[in-house]
Amino acid sequence: MSQTNRRWIFAKPPEGRIGPDTFRLEIAPLPVPGPGEVLVRTLLLSLDAANRAWMMGKTYRAALQVGGVMDGFAIGEVVASNSPDFAVGDRVEGSLGWQLFACLPASALTKRRADVAPELLVGALSVTGLTAYFGLLEVGRPKPGETVLVSAAAGAVGTMVGQIAKLAGCRVVGTARGADKGEWLVRELGFDAVVDYTQPGLRRALAAACPRGIDVFFDNTGGPVLDAALTLMNVRGRVACCGNVSQYNVDKPGPGPMAVPGLVVVKRLRLEGFIVMDFFDRREAAEAQIAEWVAAGKVKAVMDTLDGLERAPEALIRLLDGGNRGKVAVRM
Amino acid sequence: MSQTNRRWIFAKPPEGRIGPDTFRLEIAPLPVPGPGEVLVRTLLLSLDAANRAWMMGKTYRAALQVGGVMDGFAIGEVVASNSPDFAVGDRVEGSLGWQLFACLPASALTKRRADVAPELLVGALSVTGLTAYFGLLEVGRPKPGETVLVSAAAGAVGTMVGQIAKLAGCRVVGTARGADKGEWLVRELGFDAVVDYTQPGLRRALAAACPRGIDVFFDNTGGPVLDAALTLMNVRGRVACCGNVSQYNVDKPGPGPMAVPGLVVVKRLRLEGFIVMDFFDRREAAEAQIAEWVAAGKVKAVMDTLDGLERAPEALIRLLDGGNRGKVAVRM
């Protein structure tokens, strides 16, 4: 075992886009677990748009502390344990952070099966997959034949939402940056149409892609896509508000959606925010369902994996720029 | 019976505020009911913020037609009938319009009990009262001890919402224009606090009036009150989107609420539009409940009644300016 740890420090809160000075790589002694603590070697680090939101202040969790190890969800393996709950070699998940080794109290870790690929544990079977599953099915509540729109469709959550919505019998439309990503979503993941939100005429393009209007909008981005989508929602349409990534990496937030509350009243829309933890009482059944879909080839667990801790900032920047396809992760 | 009709014509779609040229009073022959039609004498005309919204285009109903009789809900009495369903002297309600006499197909009228005051039929026991009842209890779903905010609190819906929320065991805060209306709402209707939304420091004043945050916001206005309220909502707060009256009478709509979708996600808020007709399968039970509250003195049915058809435009202008206290109606 290496006797040193390497870790990314959250060095400087960004103004606008994150950049090279947002993080600082440092070498530190290998931590020694105290009583009740567990030493974990990171295997696969999950990158999430929420990482950026944590830099902006308190959200559903405390804001990131400047000078501390950059936080992040990861899959790891126990290398030393002072807890009866964990043995060396156990596969675990938790907020291990952007580092090769993490020392955490046993209560902060969750044991996972070692025979499931770490890629599935940070992707389809993780909070990412569950966010898509519960947000679409429980908040959006699509009915067969309805039209589902999902923003950031090529992302980790978006790719899952689109595929689950197809299984639910819906017409599925996505927004993504660039024509090649759109073609890929249609060809590989079965989307019915994808609109490049960076091109002019967004609302017109969305209207053409959704000829019967939008019944469910799974919104990862907010911003202009939300603005346009609200005008195309059908009566009693539902917006599952999952994220606001269009506003995370900017200096000055854009204006709020003009259609709120006017069209919300007229069309009796429901906009509802959620976080996946609210549904964790049903986590096991949902994971089993997703695992079954993946095993049967009905849902593709799309990964966008980079190698090496050094590439974690690059991975997050790519994610926030919408450059990724599927779940972004860093393999150690 | 008078042999002529008097009626207000919707003469000119307003740009911004409605004014003296929006309507035109005209004298017309008394209509003669054809087969299946009923001639009704208007007793009490209901004025509603929605009247203004109808001028802006299609909403939950078709837009008003320029040159036609100004539409409006009213209580009337049958004076001639070619329908077996209605007899002379019957009390009815319907879209009688701004006129002394209306001739309508029987199917457009609903019979009401003649022993209930017309004031209750256009107010507490009308769509107004039911909007407050269903919007608060079914969309907002307040729990005892929670804080309920209602905008346009001195209006027809707001006065009902506040009183029903008190019966539900909530802390009730309203927004209204002017200190005197606030004092009146506290003294006469039992509001816990009222904020004058026209004064500077709206958000700070709302925060002071809602020391435990806002759990349910019954929003009649949109605009700056919605903006401020969203920042004060508690986790899992609910916004019953009932109206957008702050934007009905303006030339250029204001910006959308900055907190959407960011705070909606972070706080897992639900914003939900509704129209009262969606709940009409339970109308009878709701009316019985409201009637019981009114009879027991637990809910005051506050009326703001003007006399004479001539005053209908003035009544609507006063309503849109927030000059009224309770339900605005015109007695013929």
CA distance B39 to A258: 43
Interface test with B, best of A56, A238, A265 (most B CBs within 10 A): A265
Interface test with B, best of A131, A234, A238, A271 (most B CBs within 10 A): A271
Q: Is B129 on the interface with A (CB under 8 A)?
A: no
- Spell out which residues of chain A touch residue B270, defining contact as CB-CB under 8 Å: 270-273
- pLDDT at site B198: 95
Taking alpha carbons only, the member of A99, A82, A80 closest to residue A90 is A80
Q: What is the pLDDT of residues A176-226, one digit of tens each?
A: 999 999 999 999 999 999 999 999 999 999 999 999 999 999 999 999 999
Q: Is B266 on the interface with A (CB under 8 A)?
A: yes
User: Quick check: A222 and B257 CB within 8 A?
Assistant: no
Q: What is the pLDDT of residues A157-185, one digit of tens each?
A: 999 999 999 999 999 999 999 999 999 99
With H, G, I as helix, E, B as strand and everything else as coil, classify residue B320.
Answer: helix
What is this structure's pTM?
0.91
Lowest pLDDT segment from B93-97, B187-191, B242-246, B299-303: B242-246
- pLDDT at site B221: 94
Q: Is A226 on the interface with B (CB under 8 A)?
A: yes
Tell me which chain A residue has its CA closest to the CA of residue B221. A261
In this prediction the ipTM stands at: 0.89
- Spell out which residues of chain B touch residue A257, defining contact as CB-CB under 8 Å: 256-257, 260-261
CA distance A262 to B148: 21
How far does the CA of residue B161 sit from the closest CA of chain A (Å)?
17
Query: E strands of chain B, at which residues?
Result: 4-10, 23-29, 37-46, 74-81, 91-94, 101-105, 110-112, 147-150, 171-176, 193-196, 214-219, 233-241, 270-273, 303-307, 327-331
Question: CA separation (Å) from A82 to A5, A85, A94, A100?
Answer: 19, 9, 17, 19
- pLDDT at site B2: 54
C-beta separation of A227 from A254 below 8 A: no
The one-letter amino acid code at B93 reads E
User: Quick check: B264 and A253 CB within 8 A?
Assistant: no
Q: What is the pLDDT of residues B202-247, one digit of tens each?
A: 999 999 999 999 999 999 999 999 999 999 999 999 999 999 888 8
What mean pLDDT, rounded, does chain A reach? 95
- Spell out which residues of chain A touch residue B227, defining contact as CB-CB under 8 Å: 256
Q: What is the DSSP string of B304-316?
A: EEEESGGGHHHHH
C-beta separation of A237 from A216 below 8 A: yes
Task: Give the mean model confidence (pLDDT) for residues B315-326.
Answer: 92
- pLDDT at site B120: 96
Facing residues of A10 across strands? A23
Above 90 in pLDDT, residue A322? no
User: Quick check: B241 and A264 CB within 8 A?
Assistant: yes
User: Quick check: A59 and B266 CB within 8 A?
Assistant: yes
Facing residues of A159 across strands? none
- pLDDT at site B271: 98
- B44 CB contacts (<8 Å, ≥6 apart)? B74, B75, B118, B119, B121, B122, B305, B329, B330, B331, B332
What mean pLDDT, rounded, does chain B reach? 95
- pLDDT at site B252: 79
Task: Give the mean model confidence (pLDDT) for residues A86-99.
Answer: 98
Q: Is B141 on the interface with A (CB under 8 A)?
A: no
Above 80 in pLDDT, residue A134? yes
Fold of A127-277: Rossmann fold (3.40.50)
In this complex, the residue of A243, A261, A273 whose CB is nearest that of residue B219 is A261
Tell me which chain A residue has its CA closest to the CA of residue B263. A273
CA distance B219 to B238: 10
C-beta separation of B316 from B18 below 8 A: yes
CATH 3.40.50.720 boundaries in chain A: 127-277
Above 60 in pLDDT, residue A301? yes
- pLDDT at site A227: 95
Q: Is B273 on the interface with A (CB under 8 A)?
A: yes
Q: What is the pLDDT of residues A221-254, one digit of tens each?
A: 999 999 999 999 999 999 999 998 888 777 777 8
CATH 3.90.180.10 boundaries in chain B: 4-123+302-331
- B165 CB contacts (<8 Å, ≥6 apart)? B136, B142, B148, B150, B172, B216, B218
Alpha helices in B54-191 (DSSP H): 118-122, 127-134, 156-167, 179-189
User: Quick check: A241 and B264 CB within 8 A?
Assistant: yes
Tell me which chain B residue has its CA closest to the CA of residue A270. B272
How far does the CA of residue B5 sit from the closest CA of chain A (Å)?
34
Question: CA separation (Å) from A80 to A1, A74, A117, B119?
Answer: 11, 17, 22, 77
Task: Give the mean model confidence (pLDDT) for residues B132-146.
Answer: 98
In this complex, the residue of A227, A244, A265 whose CB is nearest that of residue B262 is A244
Fold of A4-123+302-331: Quinone Oxidoreductase; Chain A, domain 1 (3.90.180)
- pLDDT at site B3: 78
Q: Is A258 on the interface with B (CB under 8 A)?
A: yes
How far does the CA of residue B266 sit from the closest CA of chain A (Å)?
6
Q: What is the pLDDT of residues B247-269, one digit of tens each?
A: 877 777 788 999 999 999 999 99
- Spell out which residues of chain A touch residue B229, defining contact as CB-CB under 8 Å: none
User: Quick check: B265 and A243 CB within 8 A?
Assistant: yes
In this complex, the residue of B244, B267, B278 whose CB is nearest that of residue A261 is B244
| Residues 59-98 of chain B whose Cβ lies under 8 A from any Cβ of chain A | 59-60
C-beta separation of B120 from B287 below 8 A: no
Tell me which chain A residue has its CA closest to the CA of residue B272. A270
SS3 per residue for chain A:
CCCEEEEEEECCCCCCCCCCCCEEEEEEECCCCCCCEEEEEEEEEECCHHHHHHHHCCCCCCCCCCCCECCCCEEEEEEEECCCCCCCCCEEEECCCCECEEEEEHHHCEEECCCCCHHHHHCCCCHHHHHHHHHHHHHHCCCCCCEEEECCCCEHHHHHHHHHHHHCCCEEEEEECCHHHHHHHHHHHCCCEEEECCCCCHHHHHHHHCCCCEEEEEECCCHHHHHHHHHHEEEEEEEEECCCHHHCCCCCCCCECCCCCHHHHHCCCEEEECCHHHHHHHHHHHHHHHHHHHHCCCCCCCEEEEECHHHHHHHHHHHHCCCCCEEEEEEC
In this complex, the residue of B239, B244, B261 whose CB is nearest that of residue A219 is B261
Q: What share of chain B is helix, strand, coil (3-state, %, to 5)?
A: 35, 30, 40
Q: Is B277 on the interface with A (CB under 8 A)?
A: no
Q: What is the pLDDT of residues A103-120, one digit of tens each?
A: 999 999 999 999 999 999
In this complex, the residue of A60, A260, A275 whose CB is nearest that of residue B260 is A260
Q: What is the pLDDT of residues A33-87, one digit of tens each?
A: 999 999 999 999 999 988 998 998 887 788 899 999 999 999 999 999 999 999 9
Please give the angle made by the CA atoms of A308, A312 and A316, to the nearest 5 degrees.
145
User: Quick check: B271 and A274 CB within 8 A?
Assistant: no
User: Quick check: A268 and B274 CB within 8 A?
Assistant: yes
CA distance B162 to B171: 9
How far does the CA of residue B83 sit from the closest CA of chain A (Å)?
34
- Spell out which residues of chain B touch residue A259, defining contact as CB-CB under 8 Å: 256
pLDDT cut 70: percent of chain B above it: 99
- Spell out which residues of chain A touch residue B255, defining contact as CB-CB under 8 Å: 255-256, 258
Q: What is the pLDDT of residues B5-36, one digit of tens each?
A: 999 999 999 988 998 899 999 999 999 999 99
- pLDDT at site A59: 78
